[in-house]
Structure 1
Amino acid sequence: MTPSTADRPVILTEEFEELARTAPETVRLEFINGKIEVKPVPDGDHAEIVRWLQRRCMQHIPNLWLYGERHLKVDRYRKGRAIADAVLAPDEQFAGHGQWSDPEGILMVVEVTSHDSDTNRRDRIENRDAYASAGISVYLLIDRDRCLVTVHAEPDGGTYRSLTSRPYGTPVELPAPVGFTLETEELKRFADQGCCAR
């Protein structure tokens, strides 16, 4: 039986990496589920949410660092490449790495949704599955469209077995190996008008 084109990537991983390396600075490319994806450039509120989370992590787990915008190899998910908005890892975790890092040693990956038509597929489905397949312990999704903080944990067989969603303003537990309660009231400052009132 001949494999369908849906089972084959559009290009080889090496070809994608070359394309991503030579793309203009204003274009961020990912290779997810065998397809090239354009990841939106973050807006100001997006950047402020990552900054806010960096500060929370420093307060609770100062021996770790929340690295912004890290390029990850998510090989187990169809030889993919993802640009995480942030990753939690030990200091100097990425010393000596090239543009794309192996996810080993990463304790948590973070995505903050962008206001674009691909958010549902990219952040809520494909990146979630890629991070679970890579064995990353915790996937934190800060969902600006829904004013929700969603914690995916316990990766097993390419999926996360645990899912917890809380509205902005409600504390949410970041399980081990992260291990602290995230107070989310401040996220309301970066929400669209009316989002938190729903």
Structure 2
Amino acid sequence: MAGPLEERFRTVRDLLPDYRVETTGGRIVVNESGTWQHNTIVFRLIRLLIGTVVDRGWEIWPNITVYTGGVDRYVPDLVVVPRSPLMRFDHAVQGDSTLLVADVVSADSAYDDHYVKPCGYAPAGVPLYLVLDPFQGAATLFGEPSGGKYRRETVAAAGEPLVLPAPWDRAVDTAALW
């Protein structure tokens, strides 16, 4: 991202350090910190993933920018990375150097989380993008990026297991998220 949008993005990010500032669809989006319900879902996801993450030497990073290579800069609710991931900037990990990126849908983010971000993450090589939607009571996992799109989209309703493919090779109990 070069030019006026990049300058505006950096200015807004610097002026509002306590907010999640991202560019989505070529526009600057400022998100307040999540509600207690939002943060509870993030915590429950971390609790479900932590055993595998620790066993494999990976890390969970909240509030880090995912560099997509395009004009957009997304700041998901959490990112799982391998040891020593490739960084674009101190505050931005390369999309293809992630293992899982996850967002919890808020009232203002549903369209971006379900439709815009998968179109940015897939070309960046993000292998798995998980969207947790408390309004629909469902988890959507986008996987197998190829040709700039995700080839697989799996939806699990609350209570259904959601299988995370390699390198995870495990199921997530979606009932524990809600």
Tell me which interval the TM-score lies in, with the shorter structure as reference length: 0.7 to 0.9
Q: CA RMSD in A?
A: 2.3
- For the residue of structure 2 that corresponds to 1:20, the secondary structure is helix
Matched, 1:133 2:123: yes
Cross-structure match for 2:152: 162
TM-score by length of 1: 0.79
TM-score by length of 2: 0.87
Kindly provide the amino acid, as one letter, of the partner of residue 63 in structure 2: E
| Distance in structure 2 (CA, Å) of the matches to 1:84 and 1:46 | 12
- Equivalence map 1:1-198=2 (5 Å): 12-62=4-54, 63-76=57-70, 79-93=71-85, 97-116=89-108, 119-188=109-178
Number of residue equivalences:
176
Task: List alignment gaps of at least 5 residues for structure 1.
Answer: 1-8, 189-198
| Distance in structure 2 (CA, Å) of the matches to 1:131 and 1:86 | 14
- Residues 72-111 of structure 1: CA distance to partner in whole angstroms, max 9, x if unpaired? 21123xx211101111112453789422232232011001
| Distance in structure 2 (CA, Å) of the matches to 1:96 and 1:172 | 31
- Tell me which protein shows more helix as a share of its residues: 2
| Distance in structure 1 (CA, Å) of the matches to 2:61 and 2:33 | 17
Kindly provide the amino acid, as one letter, of the partner of residue 153 in structure 1: G
Larger radius of gyration: 1
- For the residue of structure 2 that corresponds to 1:126, the secondary structure is helix
Report percent identity of matched pairs.
26
- Is the contact between residue 128 and residue 144 of structure 2 (CA under 8 Å) also seen in structure 1? yes
Task: List alignment gaps of at least 5 residues for structure 2.
Answer: none
Report the alpha carbon displacement of residue 36 of structure 1 after superposing the two structures with TM: 1.4
- For the residue of structure 2 that corresponds to 1:84, the secondary structure is coil
Q: 1:61 and 1:98, CA in 2 relative to 1: closer, same or farther beyond 3 A? A: closer
Q: 1:93 and 1:34, CA in 2 relative to 1: closer, same or farther beyond 3 A? A: same
| Distance in structure 1 (CA, Å) of the matches to 2:12 and 2:168 | 31
Report the alpha carbon displacement of residue 34 of structure 1 after superposing the two structures with TM: 1.5
